Chains A and B, each alone.
Chain A
Amino acid sequence: MIRPVVMIPDPVLSTPASSVTEFGSATLALAEDLLDTMRASSHSVGIAAPQIGVGLRAFALDITGHKKAQSCHGEFVLFNPEVVTGHGKDVGREGCMSVPDLTGDVARYTSVVVRGFTPDGDERVIDADAFEARALQHELDHLEGKVFLDRVVAHDRVFQRKVYR
């Protein structure tokens, strides 16, 4: 089911999400909602559960076809994800469906290994670099109650998404 995307300053976006303790019909349903909502927003490559108002540690990602992509694991949903390792730093400009109109330059690891669980509860490890690594870190931030505005590298590196009105 496509769910409405929650916008700042909704508290669900600034509150650390809770770990999922039981896998089954509820996690499968949440995964479907995340995928449906992500697919419905053609300009976005990922969505975290807090962005649809659910304070649980889960996100969906699909960077397939993105011009900055190197590694690509296709479409997937990860529960209780955590960063195992991160290397390299690069600054890139990010926007977010939950932060209208603004974009900002954010420093991220250029490669990360993230471990989490599939909607069925099976462990899954994602070894990502380039754009997929950036997207993973952006979604992981949502689970910590952070949006990209909490991470911009300098105050003057926040921009209007398009042009000034």
Chain B
Amino acid sequence: MHELAITAIGADRPGVVAGVTGVLADLEGNLEDTSMTILGGRFAMVLIVAVPDEVGPDEVLGAMAGPAAALGLDVAVHPSDTTSEAQEGDAWSVSVYGADRPGIVNRFAQVLADHEVNITDLTTRVIGGPDRPIYAMLLDVSLPASVSAETVRAALGTAATELGVECSMNAADADIL
């Protein structure tokens, strides 16, 4: 078995997940980690799938063609290596919200990158009505031991002030019960 990365984006409607995963099941593919959600009215899927060695990206794409056309999906299939190393760190949650304006994600992501903070999950949503859109960003991040949370919090606070948005950072360490 080897792993492929598959993305599929298209109209949100019943049957999309069943259609895509049905093709993968027929190929004896095994879904590993996946993320599927509605983004801006479209249904977006990212799947890491283990498939038999003889099944390559082209075979998967070919098998997807029928369902993709029927469901109105744009599908891409890539070879995928798991070369990234796991990083140890403390889990924190960061939330940012404020008036929608370009550059919010980039500014905060750069602050985190400058401090060697790893983003492990990021969701953004435009909420509120079209006349008063509010941008909300929720991040899960991992702080390496070499960086103090207070240093990161202060840098995020500076960015928030500059952009005129609210930012909070809370420990997200889970308790093993």
Chain A positions within 8 Å of B, measured between CB atoms, are 43-46, 66, 68, 92-97, 103, 131, 134-135, 138-139, 148, 156, 159-165
In Å, the complex CA distance between A97 and B174 comes to: 12
B146 beta carbon closer than 8 Å to chain A: no
B176 beta carbon closer than 8 Å to chain A: yes
Which residues on A sit within 8 Å (CB–CB) of B37? 156
Q: How many A-B residue pairs have CB under 8 A?
A: 63
B148 beta carbon closer than 8 Å to chain A: no
Q: How many residues of B contact A (CB 8 A)?
A: 21
Q: Are B82 and A92 in contact (CB under 8 A)?
A: no
Which residues on A sit within 8 Å (CB–CB) of B118? 163
Chain B positions within 8 Å of A, measured between CB atoms, are 33, 37, 82, 84, 86-89, 91, 118, 120-121, 123, 140, 142, 172-177
Contact of A97 among B33, B89, B172, B176 (CB under 8 A): B176
Given the interface pairs A164-B120, A165-B82, A165-B86, the reply to whether A131 lies near B175 with Cβ below 8 Å is yes
Given the interface pairs A159-B121, A160-B120, A163-B120, the reply to whether A45 lies near B82 with Cβ below 8 Å is no
Q: Are B175 and A92 in contact (CB under 8 A)?
A: yes
Q: Are B177 and A139 in contact (CB under 8 A)?
A: yes
Q: Are B176 and A95 in contact (CB under 8 A)?
A: yes
Q: Are A163 and B87 in contact (CB under 8 A)?
A: yes
Taking the closest CB of chain A, its distance from the CB of B82, in whole angstroms, is 6
